[in-house]
Amino acid sequence: MTIQPYIIFSLIAATGFALSSLSNKFASKHKIANPWVMFFYSTLCFVPFLLLVPLFFNVSFPTAGWLYIFLYALAFIIGHIFFILAIYRLDASTFAPFFQLQSVFVVILAFLFLGERFPLNNYLFIILILLGSVLVSLDEKMNLKTYFKLGILLIISQQLFHAFSNLFAGFALKSINSFTLIFWGDLTTVALALLIIPFIGVSKLKVSASQIKPLLLAGFFSIVGATALFTAFQTNVTISSVLSLLTSPIVLSLTILASIFRPNLLEHHTKKVYAIRAFGVLLILLGAIKLSTG
Protein backbone atom coordinates (compact mmCIF):
# COMPACT_ATOMS: atom_id res chain seq x y z
CA MET A 1 0.00 0.00 0.00
CA THR A 2 1.37 3.39 -1.00
CA ILE A 3 1.50 6.03 1.73
CA GLN A 4 0.07 9.33 0.56
CA PRO A 5 2.61 12.21 0.51
CA TYR A 6 0.39 14.44 2.69
CA ILE A 7 0.55 11.80 5.46
CA ILE A 8 4.35 11.86 5.35
CA PHE A 9 4.37 15.68 5.41
CA SER A 10 1.95 15.69 8.36
CA LEU A 11 4.17 13.33 10.34
CA ILE A 12 7.22 15.47 9.48
CA ALA A 13 5.29 18.50 10.77
CA ALA A 14 4.41 16.79 14.07
CA THR A 15 8.03 15.69 14.55
CA GLY A 16 9.37 19.13 13.62
CA PHE A 17 7.12 20.91 16.13
CA ALA A 18 8.03 18.37 18.83
CA LEU A 19 11.79 18.77 18.31
CA SER A 20 11.40 22.57 18.22
CA SER A 21 9.63 22.48 21.60
CA LEU A 22 12.31 20.26 23.14
CA SER A 23 15.13 22.41 21.74
CA ASN A 24 13.55 25.52 23.26
CA LYS A 25 13.11 23.77 26.62
CA PHE A 26 16.73 22.61 26.59
CA ALA A 27 17.91 26.17 25.85
CA SER A 28 15.79 27.63 28.65
CA LYS A 29 17.11 25.09 31.16
CA HIS A 30 20.79 24.93 30.25
CA LYS A 31 21.80 27.82 27.98
CA ILE A 32 19.97 31.13 28.51
CA ALA A 33 18.85 32.23 31.97
CA ASN A 34 17.11 35.46 30.91
CA PRO A 35 13.70 34.69 29.31
CA TRP A 36 13.64 38.02 27.41
CA VAL A 37 17.01 37.27 25.82
CA MET A 38 15.64 33.81 25.04
CA PHE A 39 12.56 35.38 23.44
CA PHE A 40 14.64 37.70 21.28
CA TYR A 41 17.00 35.05 19.91
CA SER A 42 14.36 32.34 19.57
CA THR A 43 12.49 34.73 17.25
CA LEU A 44 15.60 35.91 15.42
CA CYS A 45 16.71 32.33 14.74
CA PHE A 46 13.76 31.88 12.36
CA VAL A 47 15.38 34.22 9.83
CA PRO A 48 18.13 32.02 8.26
CA PHE A 49 15.64 29.26 7.51
CA LEU A 50 12.78 31.59 6.64
CA LEU A 51 14.87 33.10 3.82
CA LEU A 52 15.04 29.65 2.22
CA VAL A 53 11.25 29.40 1.86
CA PRO A 54 11.04 31.47 -1.40
CA LEU A 55 13.63 29.15 -2.95
CA PHE A 56 11.35 26.13 -2.69
CA PHE A 57 7.81 27.51 -2.57
CA ASN A 58 5.65 30.06 -4.36
CA VAL A 59 6.14 33.33 -2.43
CA SER A 60 5.04 36.68 -3.86
CA PHE A 61 4.78 40.23 -2.55
CA PRO A 62 1.27 40.69 -1.15
CA THR A 63 -0.82 43.37 -2.86
CA ALA A 64 -3.65 42.89 -0.34
CA GLY A 65 -4.22 41.50 3.14
CA TRP A 66 -1.43 43.43 4.89
CA LEU A 67 -3.65 44.35 7.84
CA TYR A 68 -4.35 40.69 8.51
CA ILE A 69 -0.68 39.78 8.00
CA PHE A 70 0.26 42.37 10.63
CA LEU A 71 -2.44 41.22 13.06
CA TYR A 72 -1.35 37.61 12.48
CA ALA A 73 2.25 38.56 13.34
CA LEU A 74 1.26 40.72 16.33
CA ALA A 75 -0.92 38.03 17.90
CA PHE A 76 1.77 35.42 17.23
CA ILE A 77 4.57 37.45 18.83
CA ILE A 78 2.50 38.18 21.94
CA GLY A 79 1.71 34.48 22.19
CA HIS A 80 5.40 33.66 21.73
CA ILE A 81 6.28 35.92 24.68
CA PHE A 82 3.86 33.96 26.86
CA PHE A 83 5.31 30.68 25.55
CA ILE A 84 8.90 31.62 26.42
CA LEU A 85 7.91 32.79 29.90
CA ALA A 86 5.95 29.54 30.39
CA ILE A 87 8.70 27.09 29.41
CA TYR A 88 10.91 28.40 32.22
CA ARG A 89 8.21 27.24 34.63
CA LEU A 90 6.80 24.08 33.03
CA ASP A 91 8.00 20.65 31.92
CA ALA A 92 8.00 19.90 28.20
CA SER A 93 5.62 17.00 28.84
CA THR A 94 3.23 19.50 30.43
CA PHE A 95 3.32 22.46 28.05
CA ALA A 96 3.36 20.49 24.76
CA PRO A 97 -0.12 18.94 25.25
CA PHE A 98 -1.50 22.43 25.90
CA PHE A 99 -0.85 23.22 22.22
CA GLN A 100 -4.09 21.40 21.49
CA LEU A 101 -6.03 24.05 23.43
CA GLN A 102 -5.82 26.07 20.24
CA SER A 103 -8.58 23.89 18.81
CA VAL A 104 -10.75 24.87 21.79
CA PHE A 105 -10.07 28.57 21.33
CA VAL A 106 -10.63 28.30 17.56
CA VAL A 107 -14.09 26.88 18.24
CA ILE A 108 -14.82 29.69 20.70
CA LEU A 109 -13.56 32.39 18.31
CA ALA A 110 -15.55 30.88 15.43
CA PHE A 111 -18.61 31.00 17.67
CA LEU A 112 -18.02 34.63 18.67
CA PHE A 113 -16.71 36.20 15.46
CA LEU A 114 -17.87 33.99 12.60
CA GLY A 115 -21.30 33.06 13.90
CA GLU A 116 -20.60 29.34 13.59
CA ARG A 117 -22.62 26.94 15.70
CA PHE A 118 -21.56 23.42 16.59
CA PRO A 119 -23.22 20.18 17.74
CA LEU A 120 -23.45 19.57 21.48
CA ASN A 121 -20.85 16.81 21.14
CA ASN A 122 -18.19 19.40 20.24
CA TYR A 123 -18.60 21.12 23.59
CA LEU A 124 -18.28 17.77 25.36
CA PHE A 125 -15.00 17.23 23.49
CA ILE A 126 -13.82 20.63 24.75
CA ILE A 127 -14.50 19.45 28.32
CA LEU A 128 -12.50 16.30 27.55
CA ILE A 129 -9.53 18.40 26.37
CA LEU A 130 -9.69 20.58 29.50
CA LEU A 131 -9.80 17.49 31.73
CA GLY A 132 -6.74 16.11 29.94
CA SER A 133 -4.93 19.43 30.39
CA VAL A 134 -5.49 19.16 34.15
CA LEU A 135 -3.94 15.67 34.21
CA VAL A 136 -0.80 16.66 32.27
CA SER A 137 -0.15 19.45 34.80
CA LEU A 138 0.08 17.05 37.77
CA ASP A 139 3.39 16.19 39.43
CA GLU A 140 4.42 14.00 42.39
CA LYS A 141 2.32 16.08 44.82
CA MET A 142 -0.85 15.15 42.90
CA ASN A 143 -2.32 18.52 43.81
CA LEU A 144 -4.88 20.14 41.52
CA LYS A 145 -3.51 23.53 42.57
CA THR A 146 -0.66 22.98 40.09
CA TYR A 147 -3.16 23.70 37.32
CA PHE A 148 -3.69 27.22 38.61
CA LYS A 149 -0.03 28.21 38.80
CA LEU A 150 1.42 31.05 36.70
CA GLY A 151 3.11 28.72 34.19
CA ILE A 152 -0.21 27.14 33.21
CA LEU A 153 -1.85 30.56 32.90
CA LEU A 154 1.00 31.68 30.62
CA ILE A 155 0.76 28.66 28.30
CA ILE A 156 -3.04 29.02 28.11
CA SER A 157 -2.56 32.71 27.23
CA GLN A 158 -0.12 31.66 24.49
CA GLN A 159 -2.69 29.34 22.98
CA LEU A 160 -5.37 32.05 23.09
CA PHE A 161 -3.19 34.54 21.21
CA HIS A 162 -2.04 31.90 18.73
CA ALA A 163 -5.69 31.04 18.10
CA PHE A 164 -6.25 34.72 17.28
CA SER A 165 -3.16 34.51 15.05
CA ASN A 166 -4.70 31.56 13.21
CA LEU A 167 -7.96 33.48 12.84
CA PHE A 168 -6.17 36.42 11.20
CA ALA A 169 -4.19 33.96 9.07
CA GLY A 170 -7.47 32.56 7.80
CA PHE A 171 -8.56 36.05 6.72
CA ALA A 172 -5.16 36.72 5.09
CA LEU A 173 -5.28 33.43 3.15
CA LYS A 174 -8.32 34.68 1.26
CA SER A 175 -6.00 36.95 -0.76
CA ILE A 176 -2.54 35.26 -0.54
CA ASN A 177 -1.21 31.69 -0.52
CA SER A 178 0.03 29.95 2.64
CA PHE A 179 3.76 30.24 1.90
CA THR A 180 3.47 33.94 1.18
CA LEU A 181 1.80 34.24 4.59
CA ILE A 182 4.57 32.25 6.31
CA PHE A 183 7.31 34.35 4.71
CA TRP A 184 5.92 37.86 5.13
CA GLY A 185 4.07 37.10 8.35
CA ASP A 186 7.15 35.68 10.06
CA LEU A 187 9.35 38.52 8.76
CA THR A 188 6.87 40.93 10.33
CA THR A 189 7.06 38.91 13.54
CA VAL A 190 10.85 39.25 13.58
CA ALA A 191 10.57 43.00 12.95
CA LEU A 192 8.23 43.31 15.95
CA ALA A 193 10.66 41.34 18.12
CA LEU A 194 13.40 43.88 17.32
CA LEU A 195 11.37 46.52 19.14
CA ILE A 196 12.22 44.86 22.45
CA ILE A 197 15.97 45.61 22.18
CA PRO A 198 15.82 48.98 24.03
CA PHE A 199 13.97 47.32 26.92
CA ILE A 200 16.41 44.39 27.22
CA GLY A 201 19.60 46.38 26.73
CA VAL A 202 22.23 45.62 24.09
CA SER A 203 24.74 44.44 26.71
CA LYS A 204 22.43 41.59 27.81
CA LEU A 205 22.12 40.36 24.24
CA LYS A 206 25.75 39.26 24.10
CA VAL A 207 25.62 35.47 23.99
CA SER A 208 27.95 32.71 22.83
CA ALA A 209 27.54 30.45 19.82
CA SER A 210 26.87 27.46 22.10
CA GLN A 211 23.92 29.30 23.64
CA ILE A 212 22.41 30.00 20.24
CA LYS A 213 22.79 26.49 18.76
CA PRO A 214 19.66 24.95 20.35
CA LEU A 215 17.64 28.00 19.30
CA LEU A 216 18.85 27.65 15.71
CA LEU A 217 17.74 24.03 15.87
CA ALA A 218 14.37 25.12 17.25
CA GLY A 219 13.99 27.66 14.45
CA PHE A 220 14.94 25.07 11.84
CA PHE A 221 12.52 22.44 13.18
CA SER A 222 9.74 25.02 13.48
CA ILE A 223 10.10 26.17 9.86
CA VAL A 224 10.27 22.54 8.69
CA GLY A 225 7.12 21.78 10.68
CA ALA A 226 5.19 24.78 9.34
CA THR A 227 6.14 24.27 5.68
CA ALA A 228 5.48 20.53 5.89
CA LEU A 229 2.06 21.11 7.44
CA PHE A 230 1.01 23.74 4.89
CA THR A 231 2.23 21.43 2.12
CA ALA A 232 0.05 18.65 3.56
CA PHE A 233 -2.92 21.04 3.83
CA GLN A 234 -2.80 21.60 0.08
CA THR A 235 -3.95 17.99 -0.39
CA ASN A 236 -5.94 17.15 2.73
CA VAL A 237 -6.73 19.41 5.68
CA THR A 238 -8.69 17.12 8.01
CA ILE A 239 -6.36 14.11 8.17
CA SER A 240 -3.28 16.36 8.13
CA SER A 241 -4.63 18.31 11.11
CA VAL A 242 -5.23 15.09 13.02
CA LEU A 243 -1.76 13.69 12.30
CA SER A 244 -0.09 16.95 13.30
CA LEU A 245 -1.58 16.45 16.77
CA LEU A 246 1.00 13.68 17.30
CA THR A 247 3.41 16.41 18.47
CA SER A 248 2.26 15.85 22.08
CA PRO A 249 2.88 12.06 22.29
CA ILE A 250 6.23 12.53 20.49
CA VAL A 251 7.31 15.10 23.10
CA LEU A 252 6.04 12.88 25.92
CA SER A 253 7.87 9.81 24.60
CA LEU A 254 11.15 11.68 24.15
CA THR A 255 10.97 13.32 27.59
CA ILE A 256 10.33 9.92 29.21
CA LEU A 257 13.36 8.46 27.42
CA ALA A 258 15.46 11.44 28.46
CA SER A 259 14.21 11.05 32.04
CA ILE A 260 15.42 7.46 32.10
CA PHE A 261 18.84 7.89 30.50
CA ARG A 262 19.63 11.59 31.13
CA PRO A 263 17.54 12.74 34.13
CA ASN A 264 19.04 16.24 34.17
CA LEU A 265 18.60 16.88 30.45
CA LEU A 266 14.96 17.99 30.42
CA GLU A 267 12.92 16.73 33.36
CA HIS A 268 12.59 13.75 35.70
CA HIS A 269 9.45 12.28 37.28
CA THR A 270 8.14 8.98 38.57
CA LYS A 271 6.45 6.38 36.39
CA LYS A 272 3.14 7.23 38.08
CA VAL A 273 3.37 10.89 37.05
CA TYR A 274 4.20 10.00 33.46
CA ALA A 275 1.39 7.42 33.35
CA ILE A 276 -1.13 10.07 34.46
CA ARG A 277 0.28 12.59 31.99
CA ALA A 278 0.08 9.99 29.22
CA PHE A 279 -3.60 9.42 30.03
CA GLY A 280 -4.10 13.19 29.96
CA VAL A 281 -2.47 13.38 26.53
CA LEU A 282 -4.76 10.58 25.34
CA LEU A 283 -7.84 12.51 26.48
CA ILE A 284 -6.58 15.71 24.84
CA LEU A 285 -5.84 13.90 21.57
CA LEU A 286 -9.24 12.22 21.55
CA GLY A 287 -11.03 15.51 22.12
CA ALA A 288 -8.86 17.41 19.61
CA ILE A 289 -9.27 14.75 16.91
CA LYS A 290 -13.04 14.76 17.35
CA LEU A 291 -13.08 18.55 17.09
CA SER A 292 -10.85 18.49 14.00
CA THR A 293 -12.88 15.85 12.18
CA GLY A 294 -16.19 17.33 13.29
pLDDT in tens, 162-214: 888 878 887 888 888 888 988 999 999 999 999 999 888 888 889 999 999 99
| Model pLDDT, residue 269 | 92
| Model pLDDT, residue 159 | 87
Dihedral angle over CA of 208, 213, 218, 223, nearest 10: 100
Q: Collect all residues with Cβ–Cβ distance below 8 Å to 180 and sequence separation of at least 6.
A: 58, 59, 60, 62
Residues 76 and 181: their CA atoms lie apart, in Å, by 13
| Model pLDDT, residue 115 | 63
| Model pLDDT, residue 245 | 76
Listed as ranges, residues in the chain with pLDDT below 70 are: 1-2, 107, 110-118, 237-238, 292-294
| Model pLDDT, residue 135 | 92
| Model pLDDT, residue 30 | 94
